[in-house]
Amino acid sequence: MAYENIIFQSEDGIATITFNRPKALNALNNALLNEFSRALDEISANEDMRVLILTGAGEKAFVAGADITELAKFNALEAKIFSKKGQDVIGKLQTLSIPVIAAVNGFALGGGSEITLSCDFIYASETATFGLPEISLGIIPGFGGTQRLPRLIGPNMAKEMIFTGKMIPAAEAREIGMVNKICPPASLIEEVRKTAKMIASKGKASLRAAKQAINSGLNADIVTGCNIECDAFALCIASEDAKEGTAAFLEKRKAVFKGRLTT
């Protein structure tokens, strides 16, 4: 089935999902969340995918949050269902086995910021703006923002952002550790693709293991985290990619990874 609210493209193992409702600053409605979820399933089922990039259509926004025209009509039950749906899709994004980079080209507000918090890292345009402005609508973040933002930037910084609902420019988001790199608007996608290509050239099994070890370890104590790393390391060493990577080093040539888990 074709997509209407997102654009889904892939080239050389690099998938790109572009949120595509520019007239509503790419706000997240039910239809868009359904399509986003379906595209993530498509990516999961495709062994050739190496990296996913998320970005927004138009020059103004990545995603300006949940669609307020839909949200304004919700009763409590509908709000819970919508919040759960958003959390499930964002959870699916976070547990995707391949690395995900957010290319934030403008406003990333509310649910839009919450999507970026589930990506593995964020590059932003100089003109991007981040924020969780839900408090100004009389609500709170509902797509995991109260949980992921404090884990990323610390509870005090997160509380200030969530309690005030203030929007912060990309430079400030970088200062507090939300954003890895800031780029001029015209070169954002090119810079993200450059990094995506570098990642895509590595072994799929070791990328998956590194992502899982980091994410699982963050929810555990350091001893459990190191045990998770040991198991992931052992699985990697048994992969065809590890044999190729170490042989290539010893033979002084460039490794060609095939992404196979076992020989």
| Residues with catalytic function | 114, 134
Separation of alpha carbons 252 and 117, rounded Å: 39
214 binds ligand CO8 (CB under 6 A): no
Site for ligand CO8 in 80-99 (CB under 6 A): 82-83, 86
Shortest spacing between CB 163 and ligand CO8, in angstroms: 15
56 binds ligand CO8 (CB under 6 A): no
Residue nearest to ligand CO8 as judged by C-beta position: 110
When binding is defined by CB under 6 A, the residue of 57, 71, 90, 161 that contacts ligand CO8 is 71
Sequence-ordered list of residues with C-beta below 8 angstroms from that of 56, at least 6 positions apart, any chain: 18, 19, 22, 26, 62, 63, 104, 105, 106, 112
170 binds ligand CO8 (CB under 6 A): no
Shortest spacing between CB 73 and ligand CO8, in angstroms: 11
- State whether residue 21 is helix, strand or coil: coil
> With respect to ligand CO8, which residue has the nearer C-beta, 10 or 105?
105
Q: How many residues bind ligand CO8 (CB under 6 A)?
A: 24
CA angle centred on 33, ends 32 and 39, rounded to 5°: 90
Site for ligand CO8 in 96-155 (CB under 6 A): 107, 109-111, 133-134, 137, 141-143
Separation of alpha carbons 143 and 132, rounded Å: 11
Shortest spacing between CB 110 and ligand CO8, in angstroms: 2
> With respect to ligand CO8, which residue has the nearer C-beta, 29 or 97?
29
36 binds ligand CO8 (CB under 6 A): no
Is the separation of the CB atoms in 27 and 60 below 8 Å? no
Q: Give pairs for 225-231: CB < 8 Å, separation 24+.
A: none
> With respect to ligand CO8, which residue has the nearer C-beta, 24 or 199?
24
- Burial code (b: 16+ CB inside 10 Å, e: under 16) for 166-195 equals ebbbbeebbebebbeebbeeeebbebbbeb
Separation of alpha carbons 108 and 112, rounded Å: 5
Phi and psi for 66 in degrees, rounded to 5?
A: -65, 155
> With respect to ligand CO8, which residue has the nearer C-beta, 129 or 239?
129
Question: Which residue in the block uniquely carries the two structure tokens 């015209």?
Answer: 186
> With respect to ligand CO8, which residue has the nearer C-beta, 143 or 257?
143
196 binds ligand CO8 (CB under 6 A): no
When binding is defined by CB under 6 A, the residue of 15, 66, 89, 115 that contacts ligand CO8 is 66
- State whether residue 214 is helix, strand or coil: helix
Contact positions vs ligand CO8 (CB under 6 A): 24-25, 27, 64-69, 71, 79, 82-83, 86, 107, 109-111, 133-134, 137, 141-143
